[in-house]
Structure 1
Amino acid sequence: KLSNTYVITLGYGITAATTDYETIKLGSQFNAALEYNFPSNSSIIFGLRLFGARGAFNGKDDRRAISEFTTPFHNIGFGPQVSFDLSDNVYATISVGASYFKFYPKDLRDNNLPNISANVYDNNTITGSAQLDLRFMTSDKISLNFYASGFGGLGKNNDYFDDLNSGDAIDLVFSGGASLSYYFGTEKDTDGDGVVDSKDMCPNTPMGVKV
């Protein structure tokens, strides 16, 4: 069902970031993607993905002069993906990519934090990301998906997501949530025999019988 299809996906999820702040506080994000899956006659389908997100992640640390922060962000990226046919209506998709990432560390009063205010760093970088989706086809055109993803900076500003550059570890952002996908170009399997109608030599196979 995924072979030779275009896919539009809209989703929502929670965010959690590992930063120089001691305690992770959950945030949220909206995300979207446009995908193309190449034609395939096997259970493995390769594709390309254009994706973006807008949201925020948060942290707390009573040791800091500013004990809590929130970082609104947006990004847009591109990369390859591969999907695996787990059953008739369930697919797993693994995708990786690089994206342009813009971030705005703030305090809880919506004021910019000290280092971004002082122009210590540029509040944008290139990030590398990975995502796993489980897709449950509810019809020939629609799937309900559950995803887990993560990204980190590849550039020199990769430890400033919380406005601080401390220690050896870069800041990382993780997300998990749900999404809906709509598929263009899917071919129907009217009799449910596992062969799409355009290639079905026995179009009247009893429902559920595989050939």
Structure 2
Amino acid sequence: MSLCPPYAYVLGYLGVAMSCVFGSVGSSLGIVLISPPLLTLSISHPKLLTKCLMPIVMSGVVAVYGLIVSVVLLGSIPSPFADASAPDGVRRTYSLYSSQTHLFAGTLCGLTAAAAGWCIGIVGRAFVGTLCWHTGGAEVKMNIGGGAVNERSGLLANDGMSDKRGFNSVYSAMLVTCIFAEAIALYGMIAAVIVAGKGGGGSIGGC
């Protein structure tokens, strides 16, 4: 069995695709889940829209992790070149071992990014949906973007707290949850880079 078979390139480029595609899928899931209630809130309470965009931004960052790993993997795959001394006239220096490590690295980053995007989407949808559901009641003042604006909100009104404090508490909980959800994708990217490094520049494995 050849240590540098032709299908090694298929495995390597499949790892590149897995990282980029599943990273984009995770980002898309997050955006799709958050967008419907966000559009509703933008019509009824446009002043709240700025703070509610944070889950959308964090969902987009998930795809960047997949792109970074794809670029790293792509730079580690050597191109075959013509060599008259080779049996088929083509010299391949990309080993099966390296291609497998690149495939696993791409899959690792892609799946963790997809999980992170899905989690961010659910948390963001719950946050924006809560605002849409609870807005309505006495007119109160909320400090948004450094200025006080009037909004109609019943958020946590039965808790004895001001609506400003209630909104900030819910927003803080959402933000912390999204940060830890995105950390899943970050951990996957770090692990993928380490795994890809085990494959070297493609020649490790006996070629």
Fold-level match, TM-score > 0.5? Answer: no
Kindly indicate which of the two structures has a greater share of residues assigned to strand.
1
TM, length-normalised to structure 1: 0.24
TM, length-normalised to structure 2: 0.24
| Larger RCO of the pair (alpha carbons < 8 Å, separation 6+) | 2
